[in-house]
Structure 1
Amino acid sequence: MAEPLRIAYSPCPNDTFVFHAWAHGLVPGAAAPEVTFADIDITNGLAERGELDVLKISYGQLPWVLDEYALLPCGGALGRGCGPLVLTREPGAELTGRRVAVPSERSTAYLLFRLWAAKAVPGGFGEIVVLPFHEIMPAVRDGRVDAGLVIHEARFTYQQYGLHKLADMGEAWERDTGLPIPLGAIVARRSLGAERLRELAGTIRTSVELAWQDPSASRPYVLAHAQEMDPDVADQHIALYVNEFTADLGEAGCAAVRGLLTRAAAEGLVPEVDPEALAF
C-alpha cells in the first residue's frame, strides 16, 4: 500500500474547512493524508526545502519552488475584499523611517505591501521585522513596532487591540488591476507525475465541494484548530476566503497570479517566472 501523501496547511478556518473531508478520509477513492499544521512562514520554508508532498504556501513563495512543485488549480485562497491590512496605533500615521512588522518576507501579503508602499511610502521604511502573524497586533499595540501588516482573521479583530487601519492592500491591488487578490497557493511535488497531480486536484476539489454541501460536518475540526477564535469570526473567515477561486482558479485567478508575480519581479522583489511554469 502506498504511503499517505504528506500535506501541510495552516490551522486557520479556511484551510481546515477546505481540507476536512480529505483529511478525514471522506473523499471517495482518496486515502487520508498525513497532515502537518503550520503557519505560512513555516510552510513556505518547508516548500523551499522540498520536505513535503503537498503544501499551502504564499503565492509570493512560488518563484522559489516552481522547479520542484506544481501549482494546483484549486484549494487555495484568492478573493475580493479580503486583502492584508496595514495597522497603526494612531489613525493616519506616517510610515517613512518606521519599524513595520510583517508575517513573512516571502508572503503574498508582503509583495502586495511593497507594491503599495512603492507609491505610498516614497521615503522607505526604517526596518522590516518578521513576526508570527498572531504576534503582530500585540506588537503594534505595545509600541514594539510602529505598524503591522496583518492577514487572516485580524481583519475582523484589530479594533479589539485599539488599532487603526492605515491602508488595505487588497483595495489597492483591486483598484490598480481589477483582478482578485492572490493570497495562498496549493502546490504539489512535480515528481508525483502528471496523472497523479490531476487526481490530486480532483481530490482537493471534491473536498471543497463536500465542505460546502455540509458545513456542519467540518465545524468541530475547524473550531478545534482555530486557536480560541470566536465561532462567528471563524464563520466570517470561511465565508471570505473560501469562494469560487478555491474550487478553481479559472481565468481571472490565473491572471491575478501572473499579474502579481510579474509586477513583483519588475520591482525586484521576486525572480522572474516563466508563465509556462504556472500552467497545470
Structure 2
Amino acid sequence: MNIAYSPCPNDTFVFHAWAHGLIPDAPKLSVTYADIDITNNWAANAEGPEIMKISYAALPWVFSDYKLLPCGGALGRGCGPLVLVNGGDTEEAGIPEPSMLSGKRVAVPSERSTAYLLFRLWAARNVPGGVGEIVIMPFHEIMPAVRNGSIDAGLVIHEARFTYPSYGLKMLVDLGSWWEADTGLPIPLGAIIARRSLDTEAITGWIRASVEYAWKHPQASQSYVMQHAQELSPDVAQSHIDLYVNEFTANLGEDGYAAIEALLGRAADEGLVPSFDPALLR
C-alpha cells in the first residue's frame, strides 16, 4: 500500500511502526516523503498514493475521491502557525503591529494550507487594506527570506515555533492563539485521507495501532525520526512530537470535528474554499 507524508518528526513518529512492519496484519507500506504543498495538489487532482497527509484546508477539493480518516493527523492547542517579521526592522518601532503588513509581501508555505487559510481569515479582520503580494515558498526557505529582507513577513509552521529567534525574527501573531481565543476550539492542521475505494475502517485501525505503538515504545522510532529531520537537534525534534502528537492524533473526537467544521465553514462563507456537505467529514 502506498502512502505519502512529510519527513517532519510528528509524521515519522506516528507512522514508524506501520512503515517498519510492526503492525500485525497491516499491509506493507511504500512511503513517499513529500511536502504538504505537493500532497495537497496530488489529492486535488486525484493523483498520488492511496493514503496521504494533506492540509485540512485542502479537504473541500478532495471529498469526491478521498475520505478523511479520524486519526493520524495534526490537530491541537498551542500549535498554530506564526507570522514572523524581521526583528531588526521592528526594533525602532517597538512591538510589531498587524498594520505593518498592509501592502507588503508575505511568504506562505502552500496556497491550500491550513496556515494560509487561518492567515487569510485573520488578515481580513486585522490588516487595513489587506496585504500586498502573497509568495508561495518552500517552508525551509521562508525564515531566511524574511531575515534577508527579500520578503516582508513569513507564515511558518512546525519546528519554526522553536527556531525562529535564531534567525533574528520576531513573532507578529500566533494564529493558533488567535483561533483558540476566537472559537475556543483546537487548530486543525494536517489531515490523513484515504481513497474512498479502500477499506478505510481497516486503514484507520492500522494507523491507530501505529500511534499506540509509538506512544508505548517512544525510543523505537528515534533513529527513523532523526534520519528524516537531519537539520533539527534531538531536543527540537522531540518538542515537535510533543506538540503535534496528542489525543487528537489517535481520535479526532467531537472537539476535533467541531474545529474542522468551524474552520472550513468560515472559509466557505468567505468564499475561500468550495462549499461542501459537512456530512462528508465523517
**Is TM-score (shorter-chain normalized) higher than 0.5?**
yes
Tell whether 2:16 aligns with 1:12: no
CA shift for structure 1 position 28: 0.8
- Shift of the 268–227 alpha-carbon distance from structure 1 to 2, 3 Å rule, reads farther
- One-letter amino acid matched to 1:172: W
SS in 2 for 1:187: strand
Give 2:195's aligned residue: 189
1:153 to 156, 159, 165: 159
- Which segments of 5 or more consecutive residues in structure 1 lack a partner in the other structure? none
1:275 to 241, 263, 278: 278
How many residues are matched? 272
- One-letter amino acid matched to 1:10: S
2:39 to 40, 43, 51: 43
Q: Which whole-Å CA distance do the structure 2 matches of 1:112 and 1:185 have between them?
A: 15
CA shift for structure 1 position 191: 1.2
Give 1:71's aligned residue: 68
CA shift for structure 1 position 46: 1.4
Q: Which whole-Å CA distance do the structure 2 matches of 1:48 and 1:222 have between them?
A: 28
- One-letter amino acid matched to 1:129: V
CA shift for structure 1 position 50: 1.7
Give 1:226's aligned residue: 229
- One-letter amino acid matched to 2:118: L
Give 1:92's aligned residue: 96
Q: TM-score, normalised by structure 1?
A: 0.96
Q: Which whole-Å CA distance do the structure 2 matches of 1:277 and 1:262 have between them?
A: 13
Q: Which whole-Å CA distance do the structure 2 matches of 1:87 and 1:243 have between them?
A: 26
CA shift for structure 1 position 225: 0.2
Identity of aligned residues (%): 69
Deviations 1:55-98 (A, max 9, x none): 00000100000110000000000000000000001240500000
- Which segments of 5 or more consecutive residues in structure 2 lack a partner in the other structure? none
RMSD between superposed Cα atoms in Å: 0.8
1:106 to 101, 107, 112: 112
1:126 to 128, 132, 146: 132
